[in-house]
A and B are shown apart, each in its own frame.
Chain A
Amino acid sequence: MFRLIPANTKINFLGSWYIYALVSGALILVSLGSLIFHGGLKYGVDFKGGTLMQIKFAKQPDLKELRNLVGTLDLGDFSIQEFGKPEEILMNVAKAEETVTGEETTAMKVEKTLREKYGKGFVVERVEAVGPKVGADLKGKALLAIFYSLIGILIYITLRFEFKFGVAAIVATAHDAIISVGAFSVLDKEFTLTVLAAILTVIGYSLNDTIVVFDRVRENIRLRRGMPLKEILNISINQTLSRTVLTSGATLLTLIALFFLGGEVIHDFAFALIVGVVIGTYSSIYVASPVVMVWTLLEKDKFKRAAASGAGNKAKI
């Protein structure tokens, strides 16, 4: 048998849970801090509206000249950058417009101006023009989608396990989602609709790992009655460790292929998933189980106190 993770590992994952709590806390703080610092996410055209054009030139264009040319159009804020290859550029015009029948759109104006200068020396490969209404609609819908998926998952896990497991799974998932979104903010990458799709997938995926561990916990609680929960959690994580690492590894293999070979358009999507899978694997071990443990400890505390005060009451009578 070929093994990456030796059989019967006995790593004490929960022993130093507070260290990892600090690590997670720090990552979340950095994510939120970056979001505040940047004044929210750097939304792509999908969400904030505006016009995006991908243009392929016959030969490498002079970006400065191009910027001057587009600057004469008086379109407001815009950016032009190389995209993948030196002959290809990506242009972003910030202004979200709603043009009425017959009016020229931003993309039309740009194309016309470039034609005058470059003639047939370029092809417009992609245009994405989103008006302010659609963008706002989409943001609302996106939040709802995340909200509903979390609620649905909470309900399912509560039905299959216990409420505290459900809460722990949601905490771990929210942790993953915040850090994945945070990574986009820290790196100042654009948050587009496909990136959002990736984040939602991360939500589903990271739960996958968490549930595999919880499943084992449930089984072990039945098998090893009387064993402290902390030990049961530790044993369960160790038993599923090999699977957790292998599955994440296999998924990462495909994602890395996608990241390097999938083309420019899919690049950020693959990036979000890679971050999410790595964080999701971490959180299923170091976040979800500690939450269950701490919750149980608090419960016992409360129970003890209640019992103690109850005893006190009795004594009075």
Chain B
Amino acid sequence: MMNNPNMWRILVSLAVLVVAVLLAWPLEKKINLGLDLQGGMHLIYEVQADEAVLKSLDKTSSELEEFLSKKEIKAISIKRDGENLVARFASASAAQQAVDAMEEDYTILEEIGRNDNKESVTFGFTSQYRKQVYDNSISQALETLRNRIDQFGVAEPTIVQEGENRILIQLPGVKDRDRALKIIDVTAQLEFRMVYDQMSPETAKERGMPPGTSLLYEKQFDKVTHKVTGRIPYLLRNKVELTGDMLTNARVNFDQFNLPYVSITFNSEGGRIFGKLTSENVGKRMAIVLDGSVYSAPVIRQAITGGSAMIEGSFTSEEARDLALVLRAGALPAKLVRLEERTVGPSLGQDSVQSGLQAGVIGTLAVLLFMLVYYRFAGMIANVALIMNFFILMAAMAYFGATLTLPGIAGIILTIGMAVDANILVFERIREELLLGKTVRTALDQGFARAFLTIVDSNVTTLIAAICLFQFGTGPVKGFAVTLTIGLCASMFTAVFVSRTIFNAYLSGRRVTQLSI
């Protein structure tokens, strides 16, 4: 029996089948369903990294002022102009002094030019430092988003950088998209700023704002419905005394009326700054600003040295919990721009799986029946090959960790239609050879041999199209390209190799004069 040359073919076929079944079983655990099938969110954001560079320049501008005054060089003004800093000095020699001092100790800036009387110097970040700031803002955004999503509690999220400044987020199984979006794309920039008390906001609106101040608003809510009912203006100093970077914890508490508030704890440096700020400003108002909106502006009654503060506002307890979450996870270094959102609800996903399965089962049965009726015995062999083809397809998907999407299911169904093509090519060729009066064995040999090249040629072109599709496609379309590609490869194997093996086994040791084909 082992001398039978067909034996190794049988063994290979069986081995492939066993491995395939082992890899793919149980199906629902081994195959990843795409977001369109299991429900979930797919988001693409662009990080406004240029904005982070500008912010960093603003910070550098005040640092430069401090640096120069330490060196006892007096700058009349340092202003940011686009991506440059323009520093004005009293004289050309003072300007030269400043440039010399900076050359040694302040290397992140480089001189770009001076005006005609040499009193005002334009600086910009060195390209190396600019890139560092730019890249940092993206990696920090990634880190922050990971933190937030971790705490939000999503099973197996994907958060990756795409291209230069894009972030792709996939959250399978998320049901409350509104809340997820709020947690992901809030900047969460917490600032403590002093209220400017020499002028009322109303006067400022009429006469213009004093230098170094800005007008921000506090939204007022209805206590029951939480709808915005109005807004209170505040005139605030631009100087940010303390930011959310220095907090170590944020959690939800409830006051005596059972209304939620967020209490935050600073790290030691933050606690020290906060203590100093509050002790120097007793009796004045300090505003707590989150993403450009005032949350509250309490009067400082006494120095707060314990290193903690509270944020009140008209929250629902869920909102308070989400705010505490994003504060703990940290602020985004720059704003994000939503480029793309795709959300599929879980029930639609289930419907899709169901109708996809239904179409698949009916389509497959139709093809199996057709092959059986048309080719009888040979059709049965083709059907065995077709079923094996399906197992191999599933196994390959499980092995490569490929994701099954709705177009992917369509790809599988289509592959079934196309997979029989290889069998039909072979069978039609065998029929032709039989018509020419050849024996069954010769007809089989020649049918397989002659159809083989045709099968390869015709499949390679479809493969080329599928690969191009994979290269450029996004999620669902990629899924389609993957199943199509794997399906085509599997069908070449099953139609050429497995069918042949079964035919050989059937013919071996038998005198066959008639073939049911």
Contacts and interface: CB of A to CB of B under 8 A. Distances in A.
A22 interface: no
Contacts of B177: 124, 127
A194 interface: yes
Interface in A208-255: 208-209, 211-212, 215-216, 219, 239-240, 242-243, 246-247, 249-255
B338 A265 contact: no
A128 B458 CA distance: 36
Contacts of B358: 261
B343 A100 contact: no
B275 interface: no
B472 A262 contact: no
A294 to B, nearest CB: 22
Given A208-B459, A257-B362, A105 B181 contact: yes
Contact of B476 (A4, A194, A243, A258): A194
A93 B133 CA distance: 37
B363 A254 contact: yes
Given A204-B466, A207-B458, A263-B355, A258 B420 contact: no
B137 to A, nearest CB: 13
Contact of B364 (A254, A265, A273): A254
B335 interface: yes
Contact of A126 (B343, B459, B467, B480): B343
B469 interface: yes
A204 B416 contact: no
A71 B444 CA distance: 69
B454 A215 contact: yes
A59 to B, nearest CB: 16
A143 B23 CA distance: 37
A76 B371 CA distance: 54
B339 A258 contact: no
Given A258-B359, A266-B410, A125 B418 contact: no
A230 B335 CA distance: 67
B347 A142 contact: no
A157 B44 CA distance: 39
B465 A200 contact: yes
A315 B178 CA distance: 88
B441 interface: no
A141 B470 CA distance: 11
Contacts of B413: 254-255, 257-258, 262
Interface of B is mostly: helix
Interface in B310-363: 332, 335-345, 347-348, 351-352, 355-356, 358-360, 362-363
Interface of A is mostly: helix
Contact of A208 (B406, B431, B461): B461
Contacts of A107: 341
Contacts of A304: none
A152 B453 contact: no
A261 B481 CA distance: 22
Nearest to A88: B348
A8 B428 CA distance: 12
A263 B356 contact: yes
Given A127-B177, A127-B341, A262-B356, A201 B465 contact: yes
A279 B347 CA distance: 36
Contact of A101 (B36, B335, B367, B480): B335
A4 B428 CA distance: 12
Nearest to B457: A211
Interface string B92-125: 0000000000000000000000000000000000
Interface in B461-517: 461-469, 471-474, 476-477, 480-481, 484, 517
Contact of B406 (A101, A242, A265): A265
Contacts of A124: 177, 343, 345
A261 B281 CA distance: 71
Contacts of B420: 247, 250
Contacts of B407: 194, 197, 266, 269
A254 B367 CA distance: 7
Interface in A22-43: none
A125 B345 contact: yes
B209 interface: no
A247 to B, nearest CB: 4
Contacts of B424: 243, 246-247, 250
A292 interface: no
B186 interface: yes
Contacts of A311: none
Contacts of B370: 249-250, 253
Given A148-B468, A251-B421, 13 more contacts: A7-B432, A7-B435, A56-B347, A100-B48, A102-B335, A124-B343, A128-B341, A129-B340, A146-B468, A253-B417, A255-B363, A258-B414, A262-B409
17 contacts: A108-B178, A125-B344, A130-B339, A131-B340, A133-B339, A156-B461, A194-B476, A204-B461, A204-B464, A204-B465, A242-B428, A246-B374, A253-B363, A254-B413, A258-B359, A263-B406, A265-B352
Interface of A: 1-2, 4, 7-8, 54, 56, 98-102, 105, 107-108, 111, 123-131, 133-134, 138, 141-142, 144-146, 148-149, 152-153, 156-157, 160, 193-194, 196-197, 200-201, 203-205, 207-209, 211-212, 215-216, 219, 239-240, 242-243, 246-247, 249-258, 260-263, 265-266, 269-270, 273
